Every structure is written in structure tokens, then in C-alpha cells.
């Protein structure tokens, strides 16, 4: 059958395999979606291109998703290809915790999942539902973790209680995202500068 996933798998494709099914095939489709989106744009994304990159048939995609928007949302929401909740760093210091969390975010933005966010962010007015998913998947979890970090720092006397706010917690991730939009990567030195020149002066207790 020309439409069957197995028949349309090609042994020479990057990830194609006639034996791949289930979770392995799903992960390949999600990764192909994000890689394709990162290299082109949302308008150019198609089931044909994703299927070819994933080494499967486009009918496999149509069976699960009606639109490319649904596929992109699924790929971003998947813990394997998207953005899983960030882990608590537990360095014991405000500076260490902030640097660890934001450096992890910066690394993620260099990967296909991170580069795929750029066209979604820049085209927010045209695709608000996708931008909302980006915000939910990326900013909100980091904001929640940074709020906990600020709260713990305030309890240790490292941060002002007045600095424990949602706005303060979202500032670091937003700056990292904006830096990633302007350059291919956000080096650790830039992460440290954001922490030392912006976040700590705003949050830390005065000597």
C-alpha cells in the first residue's frame, strides 16, 4: 500500500526504518516537525515535508492530526521533544540558582525545539494559539521555578521579599528568549551578565 507508513519508509532516510512504530515513530515525527520548523517557517511547514524528514508516510500524520498547528502543539507539548519542566538547581545561592536555570534555558533554545520557537514568536499576531502554547510550555514553568528560587532566597535573606513577584520571575526567561532571537546562541557569559547586571541588583538585599 503506498499510503502505509511501512511502505513509504526509505532505508536511506535520516531516521527512516521499516520497523519503527509506536513511540519511536512518534518521536521521529515530532523531532522532524521541530527541525523543519526551525529551518524554514510555519507557513512553509507541511505534512509532506515532515513525513519525508521522519521517514514515514504522510497518511500516518493525517491519521493523528488534522492540521500542522495541531502537530506543532503536540511536538512542543511532548516531554521528549518539547520543553519538560525545568529541574530545581539547589545550588544554595541566589546567583547560582538563577545562573543554572537560565543557562539550561539558553541551551534548550539552541536545540531544534528552541529554534522552532522563533517563527512562532515573531508571527504571534498571525498564530496567537501557537504563541500561547510557546508561552505555556516555555515561560510559565521557568517562571514558576524562579518564583520558588526567589522565595527561598528571601527566606535566606539573599533577596528582598518585595522582589518575589511573577514579573520578577519572568524577567530572566524573557531576556534569554530575546537574546536568542538576536543571535544563534546565548553564551554562558551573557547569562552571567543578565544575572549579575539585571536580576541580582533588582532582587538582592542591599548591603
- Poorest-confidence range of 43-57, 113-127, 137-151? 113-127
pLDDT (average), residues 50-65:
93
CA proximity to 133, closest of 69, 88, 67: 69
User: What single DSSP character describes residue 129?
Assistant: H
pLDDT of residue 19: 52
pLDDT of residue 76: 83
CA proximity to 43, closest of 64, 67, 63, 75: 67
Question: Is residue 55 pLDDT above 60, yes or no?
Answer: yes
pLDDT of residue 207: 56
CATH of 5-77, one of 3.40.50.300, 1.10.10.60, 3.30.870.10, 1.10.10.10: 1.10.10.60
* 115-124 burial code (b ≥16 CB/10 A, e <16): bbbbbbbeee
Highest mean pLDDT among 1-5, 81-85, 173-177: 173-177
Question: Is residue 6 pLDDT above 70, yes or no?
Answer: no
Spans of all domains in the chain: 5-77, 94-203
- pLDDT category at 38 given cuts 50, 70, 90 is confident
- pTM for the model stands at 0.77
- For the stretch 77-136, pLDDT in tens is 888 888 888 899 999 999 999 999 999 999 988 888 888 888 777 777 777 877 787 777
Q: How far is CA 170 from CA 44, 81, 147, 202, in A?
A: 31, 23, 8, 13
Question: Is residue 175 pLDDT above 50, yes or no?
Answer: yes
Half-sphere exposure (Cβ direction) of 18: Cα atoms closer than 13 Å: 6
Higher pLDDT, 43 or 135: 43
Averaged pLDDT of the chain: 85
Amino acid at each position: 500500500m503506498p499510503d502505509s507508513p511501512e511502505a513509504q519508509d526509505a532505508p536511506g532516510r535520516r531516521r527512516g526504518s521499516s520497523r519503527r512504530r509506536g513511540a519511536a515513530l512518534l518521536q521521529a515525527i515530532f523531532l522532524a516537525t521541530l527541525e523543519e520548523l526551525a529551518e524554514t517557517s510555519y507557513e512553509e511547514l507541511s505534512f509532506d515535508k515532515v513525513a519525508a524528514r521522519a521517514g514515514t508516510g504522510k497518511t500516518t500524520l493525517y491519521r493523528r492530526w488534522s492540521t500542522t498547528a495541531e502537530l506543532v502543539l503536540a511536538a512542543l507539548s511532548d516531554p521528549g521533544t518539547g520543553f519538560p519542566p525545568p529541574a530545581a538547581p539547589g545550588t544554595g545561592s541566589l546567583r547560582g540558582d538563577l545562573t543554572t536555570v537560565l543557562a539550561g534555558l539558553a541551551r534548550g533554545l539552541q536545540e531544534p525545539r528552541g529554534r522552532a520557537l522563533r517563527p512562532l514568536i515573531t508571527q504571534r499576531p498571525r498564530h496567537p494559539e501557537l504563541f500561547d502554547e510557546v508561552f505555556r510550555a516555555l515561560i510559565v514553568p521557568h517562571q514558576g521555578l524562579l518564583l520558588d528560587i526567589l522565595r527561598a532566597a528571601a527566606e535566606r535573606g539573599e533577596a528582598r521579599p518585595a522582589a518575589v513577584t511573577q514579573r520578577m520571575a519572568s524577567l530572566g526567561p524573557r531576556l534569554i528568549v530575546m537574546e536568542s532571537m538576536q543571535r544563534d546562541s546565548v553564551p554562558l557569559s551573557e547569562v552571567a551578565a543578565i544575572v549579575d547586571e539585571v536580576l541580582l541588583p533588582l532582587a538582592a538585599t542591599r548591603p
